[in-house]
Structure 1
């Protein structure tokens, strides 16, 4: 099987969020897609180890926003490479709540959707949720970011829990704990800034090629 054939499939880049009780969670996905028009329904696939997946299971609702092409890598770093169990991901970004009290971003996004789960499919490592759209709104007229644009222009990486993740060859150097960027070097300058998520050298850890 030529795994590169999947690179020819195009996707958008979204942040899916949910809330259960007083817990909120959100993550970056490239797996949100429209299933039907009437009724309006969306499909989304999320890793079972992800806090967002667990809270969607509990609440039965989720929101999603389409990221703008100009969205900052720091935002993608927070929502794509950090865990909602350890971080209030919405704390540093403009947001509001939908009719289900689910938070969603109001900056660096071009459209938003609010859904009620009406079906799900166990896909092994991931869960596929079918959501009936209760609210939908265009937020900005800017182009939405595609997964291809994220990789080719933004030089973004794929989180390990993403359904499209493929392990990279092992290298020796320093890895950013936020976004996964690897600096192939024997030393890490104190003033080094990650070119992907813009975090400092304190976010890096040594890695070995062994």
Structure 2
């Protein structure tokens, strides 16, 4: 009988990317960890975006986007800016200037990146929590010769180490998201709980003990 040790999921390797889109006058972007070449003839790239992200809706409607490949030089503030807030509530490009615009009219990120791809959606697959977009590249460019940032590198070298938390003054238990550091106070974490910041489920939370 096989075991279901969900920690095995952390052994899968991922890159990290900023997916950007434009819809009307709105520019937006979010952090994704799935962008891979799935075919060479024709050349196709797949990306998966959580449906709770506003960027998801923009890509679904516009049928195009850019992905900027994050490098090991990417600062934590870049992850916070594009990953820890929603484009439904803020304009992520209002005061952000470290980008250029590709020929498809969509921004790509210049800070902490080593390449970008302009993509046109040719197929969409509903995966439940995410949509898988199969895309053909319409443009691509190497920006600098720096190593790409893996999810493991982000966890070990970029994301700040969690502070010791434990329990509140009132003695309540604290749960911390392993992905973004969001904390939830309560003895038990609801089974259907979704992190309001990075959208990860209960399995990515750990009980913090002093």
Q: TM-score range by the shorter chain?
A: 0.7 to 0.9
Q: Distance in 2 between matches of 1:148 and 1:37?
A: 27
Matched, 1:57 2:60: yes
Aligned to 1:119: 123
Number of residue pairs matched?
A: 172
Q: Distance in 2 between matches of 1:137 and 1:102?
A: 14
CA contact (8 A) 2:75 2:158 kept: no
CA contact (8 A) 1:96 1:104 kept: yes
**Residues 8 and 145 of structure 1, relative CA distance in 2, 3 Å threshold:** same
Matched, 1:37 2:40: yes
Matched, 1:10 2:13: yes
Aligned to 1:71: 74
CA contact (8 A) 2:114 2:146 kept: yes
Aligned to 1:97: 101
Residue 174 of structure 1 deviates from its aligned partner by 9.5
Q: Which runs of 4+ in 1 moved over 6 A?
A: none
Aligned to 2:111: 107
Find the partner of 1:207 among 185, 192, 201. 185
**Residues 156 and 79 of structure 1, relative CA distance in 2, 3 Å threshold:** farther
Residue 25 of structure 1 deviates from its aligned partner by 1.6
Q: What is the TM-score with the length of structure 2 in the denominator?
A: 0.75
- SS of the equivalent of 1:71 reads coil
Q: Distance in 2 between matches of 1:43 and 1:136?
A: 15
Residue 173 of structure 1 deviates from its aligned partner by 5.3
Q: Distance in 2 between matches of 1:155 and 1:53?
A: 24
Q: Distance in 2 between matches of 1:135 and 1:123?
A: 27
Q: Distance in 2 between matches of 1:136 and 1:64?
A: 9
- SS of the equivalent of 2:152 reads helix
Post-superposition Cα deviations, 1:97-132, rounded to whole Å, max 9, x if no partner, equal 112211111121001000000001000111100010
Q: Distance in 2 between matches of 1:47 and 1:6?
A: 17
Q: What is the TM-score with the length of structure 1 in the denominator?
A: 0.75
CA contact (8 A) 1:93 1:105 kept: no
CA contact (8 A) 1:66 1:144 kept: yes
